[in-house]
Amino acid sequence: MSELWFKPAYDLARQIRSGALSPVELMQTCLSRIEETNPVLNAFIAMRPEQALAEARAMADRIVRGEDPGPLAGLPLGVKELEEVEGLPFTHGSVPFKDNRAQWDSVQVERLRAAGAIVLGKTNAPEFGFAPFTKNLLFGVTRNPWNPARTPGGSSGGSAAAIAAGMVPIATGSDGGGSVRIPACYTGCYGIKPTFGRVPRGPFEMLTWSDVVAYGPITRTVRDAALYLDVVVGAHPSDPDSLPHPGISYVETLERLPRRLRIAWSPTLGYARVQPDVMREVLQAVSVFQKLGHDVQEIQEGFPDPGLAWATVASGETYAEIAHLLDEHRPEFGRGFLAAAERVRDLTPERYGAAQRVRAGLVNFLWRLFERYDLLLTPTLPTEAFDARGRTPPEIDGQPLLNPLLLVAFTYPFNLSGHPAATVRAGFTDAGLPAGLQIVGPRHREDLVLQASYAYEQERPWNDRWPREIPPLS
């Protein structure tokens, strides 16, 4: 059974569609792997094993009858706890919501199911997705399969840990400041944040007003992510910000990367510092694009650091979701989460306007950059995965970490700007932990980001190295 743990999702679906693999066998394999590894990793916080096996058996019967099981035929799916699956917990990782059950599937989950995926359970996330590590008072700490003392990142940390440990072949994520790319990087997975609106969100109980959160997949290979996106993109009436279908298949265009791209490389964005062994691995990854014949140029101009502007724009909605509960439930919220959420309680129009002016500066900067370049490369994160309980490193490359946003310095700018961005595995640090290279494309060009990711993956494949044996927590 272990030979199925790390097979690509597209290969597993192909085998199921052809009858070479039973969806029941795959589901049983995933359940066995979860039983073995989840007590240490705590990636899954709610399961539906009986229903998932029943759905797998029903799919097997349909295949025997000659029916089309869909492009994601029988793939066990992990769904991030911040997203709805009808009948399963929908708690936001927050104690005051501990009894919530979703009344519907999110649009993304509905489309994944319609394509043949089978929901196996919900994966852990920090409270309301408010941290780059995965820990909450309701479900506890999620750990990194490469080293359980370290975090898998956040906020899609449970999904990333499940993928990297071989529990499931695909999992959902959401990214408001790096929450797909951070955990994908820390666990050596592939993660892509599409352009805002490319994957519909909703249905909503409260319409959102900030345009920084994008849904996207965490997978083991680039083709898996392209297959996933093919079935979830396209406008939906419940999401007024959702974009029309791009009119292409991402899978079918993977091998069409244009020749001799103009690629910008920024090692710091002008304001970040990077752990030396992380930078060593990222530089080797950047050299792959030079080897492939592309024109890679290190750019000297510094980006405007939009960290405080991002925090201002992104935080208001979360406070609005919990404000009516604070009088009765204040002690039940995590202290760190609540402190962050309440910073925007007294947000004035003047401060919000100032944040949006910073954002406009960033958008205009990137407008000019992508007039000169086709892609932008950066490190995905400045450090390797840190302590699983959230104790952050005191310094980066010898300099004190005075602003915790600098731990995710390379991800949040592209939530503010809306550009698609992905992380590929660059290599391993001296401690044996994954490091990542971020690939950023022009707005609406997920196809180009996927093509570049795929070309890199062909030169430096990573799917042959995963933590098969999960170390015990010492």
- Distances from the Cα of 298 to the Cαs of 267, 301, 304, 376, 438, in angstroms? 8, 9, 17, 10, 14
Question: What angle do the packed helices 107-114 and 222-232 form, to 10 degrees?
Answer: 110
Contact 209, 117 (CB under 8 A): no
Helix (H, G, I), strand (E, B) or coil at 170: strand
Q: Which residues of 361-383 are buried (b: 16+ CB within 10 A; e: fewer)?
A: ebeebbeebbeebbbbbbbbbbb
User: What is the torsion angle, in degrees rounded to the nearest 10, for the CA atoms of residue 32, residue 37, residue 38 and residue 40?
Assistant: 160
Q: Kindly report whether the peptide bond that precedes residue 266 is cis, defined as omega within 30 degrees of 0.
A: no
- Distances from the Cα of 210 to the Cαs of 83, 92, 207, 446, in angstroms? 18, 18, 10, 21
Residue 438: count other Cβ atoms within 10 Å of its Cβ: 27
Q: Which residues of 310-347 are buried (b: 16+ CB within 10 A; e: fewer)?
A: bbbbbbbbbbebbeeeeeeeeeebbeebbebbbebeee
User: What is the torsion angle, in degrees rounded to the nearest 10, for the CA atoms of residue 28, residue 32, residue 37 and residue 38?
Assistant: 70
Q: Can you list the positions of beta strands (E) in 30-188?
A: 44-47, 76-80, 118-123, 135-136, 140-141, 170-175
Residue type, 217: P
Active site residues: 80, 155, 179
Contact 315, 369 (CB under 8 A): no
User: What is the torsion angle, in degrees rounded to the nearest 10, for the CA atoms of residue 367, residue 369, residue 373 and residue 376?
Assistant: -100
Greatest CA separation found in the chain?
A: 64
Beta bridge partners of 296: 263
Residue type, 240: P
Handedness of CA 367, 218, 142, 91 (dihedral sign): positive
Question: Distance between CA atoms of 132 and 186, rounded to whole angstroms?
Answer: 10
Closest CA relative to residue 129, chosen from 106, 158, 105, 149: 158
Handedness of CA 53, 55, 59, 62 (dihedral sign): positive
